[in-house]
Amino acid sequence: MARGLLVSAVFSSLAAAALAGAAMAAGVPANITAALGDLKRPAADTSRDMARKPGELLALAEVKPGQKVADFMMGGGYFTRILSAAVGPKGHVYAYQSAEFVQFRAQYGTDQDKVVADYANVTPLRASLGEPGLPDGLDLVLTVQNYHDLHLKFAKADTAEVVNKDIFKALKPGGLYVIVDHAAAPGAPLSVADTQHRIDEAVVKREVEAAGFKLVTEDDKLLGNPADAHDKSVFDKAIQGHTDQFVLKFRKPK
């Protein structure tokens, strides 16, 4: 048993070192590279790093030590864990999980509790999606594969407007709002948020800019997949884990 645990630990260390080396080669800052190699990250997370490219994404999001950031709709905590280590002990992460999602699936609450227990600089938030109440003074709000959820059937019609205004208020002048989501076909109706768990990139840009943000980076290549026909649910086995995703980086004007 002990030998098996030792072997597992050695392989985990080697995998982390390999990942860190790849991140450094890609020009990822040292704080993010170190965070990717954090041995507290579960294997289920690190096994997805090649596909999710967290180093490059957080470099684009300008994550630095000492920052106050929010992981909005944190899911299982994949990015919360990396952000915690990347901002370091002088930084702080607010891990938001909507009350509606926790009510729908208790595992979301359990996942949030586990992350909070593992990282001292993470504060859990579990308010209603219609009133997220993020704290003021944030440097960054990151939301990955969840913006479309603001348009699910259960959500009020103005949910996206309310959330974007709340995030605008919470960010410092010059702060960043970075959104990653599954791309829908151009011109697709908002109903695909329920049927396919996707959203038209143009809709996101229009809604976020309406809250006062300025688009500074639009990246369709980092997580893009031109082979995705945008006609299937992201949970369809034919495309799951390989969807075409867009990255949008907005800044709150100074």
Where the chain has pLDDT below 70, the residues are 1-26
- pTM for this structure? 0.90
Domain residue limits, the chain:
51-251
pLDDT digit string, tens, across residues 119-170: 999 999 999 988 899 999 999 999 999 999 999 999 999 999 999 999 999 9
* The amino acid at 82: I
For residue 210, what are the contacts with CB-CB under 8 A and spacing of at least 6?
161, 164
CATH class of 51-251: alpha beta
What per-residue confidence (pLDDT) applies to 2?
A: 44
**Whole-angstrom distance, CA of residue 166 vs CA of residue 30:** 31
pLDDT at 23: 52
Name beta bridge partners: 218. 248
State residue 9's pLDDT score. 41
The DSSP result for 211-251, as a single string, is TT-EEEEEESSTT--TT--S-S-TTSTTTTT---EEEEEEE
